[in-house]
Amino acid sequence: TCEGGVCKVEVTDVKQQVYIYKCENVTIQIIGKCKSVILDSCTKCGVVFDNVISACEVVNCKRVQVQATGACPSFSIDKTDGIVVHLSNEAISESSFVTSKSSEMNVSWLDDAGEIKEAPIPEQFMHKMVNGSVTSQVSDLYH
């Protein structure tokens, strides 16, 4: 159902995945636990979801926000310019991020005092050859 720029999607089976494609200027609220959430080719959208079993994937998007109000073990961000991932207290300790070909990525969360904190997800790295292997470090830009 859609009302006032917010579309609500109710998930009835944990085996279902939610695929959101080519949406613009809308907020999507996913109610219930699902297998995964995929946001593809969306612009200026927000997605709020309860619990995701495997991952939230964001591909080919611009200026989007994703909010986990429950658990989400993994976020995959690919070819996306401008994303903020808002983590719940439950998701902070268990979430990981895999990124490629993306820019302007940030993650936000509430600290112990209830203050909103935000940090960039690094997009610049330094690579070196060490003993015949390539090693990678986050650029000094993020320290």
CA distance 135 to 66: 31
Question: Regarding predicted confidence, which is higher, 83 or 139?
Answer: 83
Using pLDDT thresholds of 50, 70 and 90, give the confidence band for residue 139.
confident
4 pLDDT above the threshold of 80:
no
Using pLDDT thresholds of 50, 70 and 90, give the confidence band for residue 1.
low
Tell me the pLDDT tens digit for each residue of 32-83: 999 999 999 999 999 999 999 999 999 999 999 999 999 999 999 999 999 9
pTM of structure: 0.91
CA distance 75 to 87: 11
| Percent of the chain whose pLDDT exceeds 90 | 90
For the chain, what is the mean pLDDT? Answer: 94
Tell me the pLDDT tens digit for each residue of 106-120: 999 999 999 999 999
